[in-house]
Chain A
Amino acid sequence: MTRNTVIRAVDIGKVVPTAEGNLSILAGVGLEINTGESVAIVGASGSGKTTLLGILAGLDLPSSGTVELAREEITALDEEARARIRGEHVGFVFQTFQLLASLTALENVMLPAELRGDPGAEPEALKLLEKVGLSERAGHYPRQLSGGEQQRVAIARAFASRPTVLFADEPTGNLDTSTGQKIIELLFDLNTEFNTTLVLVTHDSRLAQRCGRVVEIEQGRLRT
């Protein structure tokens, strides 16, 4: 592992039990990602992209193999410690936005700082909302926002935790082409500004092309 490596996955396997016996979703996946890199994970539907992303981000545990994230072997930690690493180093953007419906846009963006107990959460969050162009909608609830607007709030929230790595699972999957395009621009602008490492799963070839590296996955294995 070089000084620059933020993510290192070694020989990842994932097996899940199903009614018809064990199902192998990932096998022998190895991957290294350096600081500041942007990596797109592509592949057919059902090939295991989301599963891999979840494991790299420490949301889920592999059945075999190890993952290091920001110099910590997260596969050896307990859930408490993994959560702490997520809070410190990881940001997420999801296909389905995942905003809390009972919170306003501003409150959603403030959430990471609140969870950490940061006092200056609000001005910071307002600044981020301005960056994504939604400062007038700060007091609105998610159900009052369009899909593209919701995704912009989600992006603001992802950067609010000042993450080392930003994970995104099909961030444009639920949006029309032009809105998707705007979201892509926003994501890469902020990525440059905050000097974040970007790992994203996508079917969108334009989005994949914007990334520094494309990794293709096929039936649970990396194609090299």
Chain B
Amino acid sequence: MNASIVFRMAWRDWRAGELALLLVALLVAVGTVTAISLFVDRLHQALLLESANFLAADRYIGGSNPIPEPYRKAVAARNLDLVDTMVFPSMIFAGVDRSQLVAVKAVEEGYPLRGVLRTALEPFTRGEEGTDIPPPGEVWLDSRLFPAMSVKLGDEVEVGLARLKVTRVLIAEPDRGGSFFDLGPRLLMNLADVPSTEVVQPGSRIGYRLLLRGEDDELDALEAELGFEDSSGYRWVDVREASPRIGSALDRAESFLLLGGLLAVLLAGVAVALSAHRYARRHYDHVGIFKTLGATPDQVMWSYVAVLALVGAAAVILGSIIGGLLHLGIVEVLKELIPIELPAPSLRPFWLGATTGFICALAFALPPLIHLRNVSPMRVIRRDLGSAPASQWLSYSAAATGSLFLLIWYSESLFLTFWTLVGAAAVLVLFGTLALLLLRGGRVVGMQAGSGWRLALSGLQRRHRENTAQILIFGLAIMLLLVLVLLRTALIDEWRSQLPDDVPNHFLMNITPEQVAGVRELLRKTRRQGPIYPMIRGRVVEVNGIDAKQWDARHRHPDDPGTRVGSERNLTWAAHVPKDNEVVLGEWWPSNEERSLVSLEDEYARELYLKLGDRLTFDVAGVRVDAEVASLRRLDWESMQPNFFIIFSPAALKDSAATYMTSFHLEREEKIFLNRLLSAYPTVTVIEVDAIIAQVQIIVDQVTQAVELILALVVVSGCLVLIASIQAGRDARVREHALVRTLGGTTRLITGALAVEFAVLGTFAGIIAVVGAEVTVALLQNQVFELPVQAHPWLWLIGPTVGGILILVVGLWGTRGVVSSPPMTVLRGADD
């Protein structure tokens, strides 16, 4: 057959409405993938940009020694912006007798590379954004240093040997983060003043950072070129490392969006396969006739492949346009909700959409069409000679290969692909059987039923193979939707519970034992009271009688920069297990424990080769304290509560001179409370993390919106699968019910029968979907999202109900023509 007849065939099929469903399914595949990836692509870039604020840079190189020349050379050779910063603790002095430990940050022109500085002329105000840094000779101080040191703007403070003038109040800086124990309020100064302070001496504790800004490719290439090893003493830091909380929120959100995209592709693939099968089935007779007229199998095959190629090309072109418009629509709708500027998209989404379209066509639509070559010409005289069963195998393996390829290619994750496929395979095998059993059970019930029911149930029985397939497809679509809904709920709950509105965002430290009662009273009166922990610095000097240095030397390489057993740490004691801590090995001591025991954080113990029963000797403020390791704990580092590696039994440290710490929540407009607190207790140290937490909350909110949007898109493509599937089963139902009507069946009887049939299919599909969703969600939560697994009893009621109603509505809508058109049209036109 030549090209012109192919075009004519395609045109005639199009005119007859035969190709519309296939084209729509392919359009959905291309359109959703393009739209989702465009949106995710842009949102991803925007979120990365936003979270880069936490570093004040895209990446940085950090170390406890000056950044060496070779690194600087490598950076300079690339198209990157760079700024040096230094952080160190220092005592500063004002007037004659006022002193305070502060965390000094020295920066140079250009800082920050990402995000902005907020400064003010009045402490404890909101301040305004600015782009400059303190000029040489000047410093900017944290609000609460003003009351604490009784200084005002224009006064001078001594930093080391230098006298510097206080010119502004520092309200916020983007990379304020860091540990809670990065002690003291901030002093921001110019890097050029650092030499004159002479605080940089051999052995002083200084953090050097080289902040970097530039294209991802350049940065990644640089990282690869420099090849950071643990032993180099320098670290390459990106936002994931610098802020694990944001990192994990981003990771999970990305996994979710990815998963959503994957499901959309799979659903669209199913829709394509369904409509291609329907198209092929409706062409068996055509092929039979073509063949009696002398068309060879090759001619038949190639002409259908050519028709498919035409449809595929149309779908790719139209789908890209629709996807682009759809995504613009999404952005428009969400403009209010997404305060961040979306960067321009890359071309990858279009490429992704187009390739998806062609792969869907190849893997899902091609096999049934290729199979048309095998239709026997005898079909013209004997209808049952339809399809050779060998092709089923081809269809399934092509669909499986296609899905596999799409999944891997799209997710770039073998892991996610593996679990999705394991889930899908299990679902198919298990639920194929389950669906057959359910249908069989339906027969028994149907025996005693009225005529509408009998008609419906006998229909279900007679086409039990088609119906099993349809239940599977409905079930799969509903299951995928449930999976997404459940995951979304779990993710968002998790985020919200991690960051409740009243999460502690201020920490009070250095509270003396005499002040504890007063501080507690002040906090109680303003209803901010949290648990108060004793805290004391100390370090391990011996392990089982072996010197701590020797213990380290015995267990690790001298260049290894990891944790040392002998490092100084914050210690505490407690009678009860602190909130969010879980004892994983050994036993927590009774509250009246007399012995000197200690409980270690699980990972800390493992890293230092410490185990249950080891005897540790501590140096706590010059006093030797012996304690036996009685338990190992796991704790939630993301809980925003004070956390300790090492906790003693109360008896062990009862004589030591500890100070106390606590945490509480403070709204921004209540910050003046700090002044009251600090004027009453000037020696107490306040650590503010409210700015960081507020920023995290913004990001989590944005990510949540993105997640919900993707969910909505996948729901749409899921509904399209349902429609395609009902369309695919329509022909048989139409013919059957037309016959029933010629035999005297009333419209009411047939509508009733159809309703029962769809409701039963939907309910069965719902049952299957619930089982599948529970299993898949449990697997995904456990393996991908690292969230706790839980069951959803309500689902077992909702799934089948929603399934029944959904399929009933969509089904009746899809077959409304069956009931309303005169039976003669159906019988006459039934050329299949």
Contact = CB atoms under 8 A, between A and B. Distances in A.
B293 A50 contact: no
B294 A83 contact: yes
Interface stretch (A100-108, A128-136, A192-200): A100-108
B31 interface: no
Interface string B78-98: 000000000000000000000
A84 B296 contact: yes
Interface stretch (B372-380, B401-409, B731-739): B372-380
Given A115-B5, A115-B299, A143-B828, A161 B381 contact: no
Contacts of A169: 381
Nearest to A108: B289
A102 B15 contact: yes
Contacts of A100: 285-286, 289, 831
B783 interface: no
Contacts of B2: 117
B297 A59 contact: no
Nearest to A50: B381
B380 A98 contact: yes
Nearest to B297: A79
B829 A59 contact: no
A79 B296 contact: yes
B831 A101 contact: yes
A116 interface: yes
B766 to A, nearest CB: 36
A84 B294 CA distance: 5
B829 A101 contact: yes
A111 B293 contact: yes
Contact of B829 (A53, A60, A79, A143): A143
Contacts of B376: 59-60
Contacts of B381: 50, 53-54, 59, 94, 169
A86 B12 contact: no
A112 B293 contact: yes
Given A50-B382, A98-B380, A92 B292 contact: yes
Contacts of B828: 143
Contacts of A161: 293-294
A80 interface: yes
Given A86-B291, A90-B294, A98-B285, A59 B380 contact: yes
B1 A117 contact: yes
B13 interface: yes
Given A60-B376, A100-B289, A87 B295 contact: yes
Given A101-B829, A143-B829, A86 B293 contact: yes
A102 B2 CA distance: 19
Contacts of A102: 12-13, 15-16, 18
B294 A116 contact: yes
A98 B293 contact: no
Nearest to B286: A100
A117 B1 CA distance: 6
Interface string B788-832: 000000000000000000000000000000000000000011010
A88 interface: yes
Interface string B2-15: 10010010001101
A80 B291 CA distance: 10
| Chain B contact residues, majority secondary structure | helix
A38 B12 CA distance: 37
A69 to B, nearest CB: 13
Contacts of B829: 101, 143
Interface string A59-95: 1100000000000000000011001111110101010
Interface residues of A, number: 34
Interface in B718-755: none
Interface in A40-66: 50, 53-54, 57, 59-60
Contact of A115 (B1, B297, B380, B382): B1
B292 to A, nearest CB: 5
Contacts of B292: 57, 59, 86, 90, 92, 98
A66 B552 CA distance: 91
B827 to A, nearest CB: 10
Nearest to B303: A115
A31 to B, nearest CB: 18
A168 to B, nearest CB: 11
Nearest to A79: B297
Contact of B12 (A88, A90, A103, A112): A103
A32 interface: no
A101 B15 CA distance: 12
A187 B829 CA distance: 26
A124 interface: no
Contacts of B12: 102-103, 107
A131 B295 CA distance: 26
Contacts of B378: 54, 59-60
B298 interface: yes
A185 interface: no
Interface in A128-177: 142-143, 157, 161, 169
Nearest to B14: A102
B660 interface: no
Contacts of A86: 291-294, 377
B507 interface: no
A137 to B, nearest CB: 16
A101 B13 CA distance: 10
A79 B287 CA distance: 14
A107 B5 CA distance: 11
A11 interface: no
Contacts of B380: 59, 92, 94, 98
Contacts of A79: 296-297
Contacts of B299: 83, 115
Nearest to A143: B828
B146 to A, nearest CB: 86
B4 to A, nearest CB: 8
A112 B289 CA distance: 10
Nearest to B8: A114
B290 interface: yes
A68 B824 CA distance: 44
Contacts of B297: 79-80, 83
A161 B293 CA distance: 8
Nearest to B17: A102
Which of A59, A107, A142 has the most chain B CB atoms inside 10 A of its CB?
A59
Contacts of A83: 291, 294-297, 299, 377
B386 to A, nearest CB: 14
A131 to B, nearest CB: 19
A59 B294 CA distance: 10
A114 B294 contact: no
B306 to A, nearest CB: 14
A101 B829 CA distance: 7
Given A50-B382, A59-B291, A83-B297, 18 more contacts: A59-B377, A59-B381, A60-B376, A83-B296, A84-B294, A86-B293, A87-B294, A87-B296, A90-B294, A98-B289, A100-B289, A100-B831, A102-B12, A107-B12, A114-B5, A115-B1, A115-B290, A169-B381
20 contacts: A50-B381, A50-B382, A54-B381, A59-B377, A80-B296, A80-B298, A83-B291, A83-B294, A86-B293, A86-B377, A87-B293, A87-B294, A87-B296, A100-B289, A101-B829, A111-B293, A115-B290, A115-B299, A143-B828, A157-B293
Interface of B: 1-2, 5, 8, 12-13, 15-16, 18, 285-286, 288-299, 376-378, 380-382, 828-829, 831
Q: Which 5 A-B pairs have the closest CB atoms?
A: A87-B294, A101-B831, A83-B296, A102-B16, A59-B377
